[in-house]
Copies of this chain bind each other. A is one copy, B any other.
């Protein structure tokens, strides 16, 4: 009962819109229109309403990110640069995951318990894997000591920031830009 062709269309429309614009900027009618159904029909597939749908969708997005990021890390072997480039390739190919918006705009608009849960899950999914590859590289002696949580957050923010400019304004591919940023951070973490 959790699946059907129509339900999947609804979930995909909701996912795209929520990821792009955030909770408050998207209406139930936007989602229904994008899924090609009347907004009343949407409640057949998402009986828990807009807020429940948002939470489900965020969990779904984050679950996909978890998979994509862990695949990228594994494919990078034991090479920090390859791991970070893999993570970057994944992230620039996905819709933005705007943690500042999630924290300051989306979360205050929903039930506090769900908000806390989503915030924790987002941090675990998006930041912690970067922390882990940095720790492993540090253990191998590839980079010098530092606040690896802070550095991981910085790398994540830089990669997400690449979504700021619309595609039309870009002179280079986002992946090229991401790789350059990673190379500079890596050189900075190795030097000294």
Report A120-156 CB contacts with B as 1/0, cut-off 8 Å.
0000000000000000000000000011001101101
On chain A, the number of residues with a Cβ less than 8 Å from chain B's Cβ atoms is 47
Contact status A154-B160, CB under 8 Å: no
Asked whether, in the complex, the Cβ of A153 is within 8 Å of the Cβ of B161, the reply is yes
The answer to whether A177 touches B147 (Cβ under 8 A) is yes
Stretch with Cβ within 8 A of B (4 or more), from A60-68, A78-86, A96-104: A96-104
Interface residue A158 (Cβ < 8 Å from any Cβ of B): yes
Are A105's CB and B105's CB within 8 A?
yes
Contact of A161 among B20, B154, B183 (CB under 8 A): B154
> How many of these chains are in the complex?
2
Q: Which residues of B contact A183 (CB under 8 A)?
A: 188
Where chain A touches its partner, the secondary structure class is: helix
* A55 → B minimal CB distance (Å): 17
A153 to B187, CA, bound (A): 18
A186's nearest neighbour on chain B, judged by CB, is B188
Cβ-neighbour of A20 out of B104, B147, B181, B190 (below 8 A): B104
Question: Nearest-CB distance from A127 to chain B (Å)?
Answer: 9
Interface segment among A6-14, A21-29, A45-53: the answer is: A21-29
Say whether A184 faces chain B, with CB atoms less than 8 Å apart. Answer: yes
Interface residue A92 (Cβ < 8 Å from any Cβ of B): no
Binary per-residue interface labels of chain A (31-63) against chain B in the complex, 1 for a CB within 8 Å, 0 otherwise: 000000000000000000000000000000000
25 A–B contacts, CB within 8 A, in A order: A22-B105, A24-B25, A25-B25, A98-B98, A99-B161, A99-B164, A100-B100, A100-B101, A100-B160, A100-B161, A100-B164, A101-B101, A103-B166, A105-B105, A146-B184, A150-B180, A151-B180, A153-B162, A153-B165, A153-B177, A154-B181, A157-B162, A184-B188, A186-B188, A187-B187
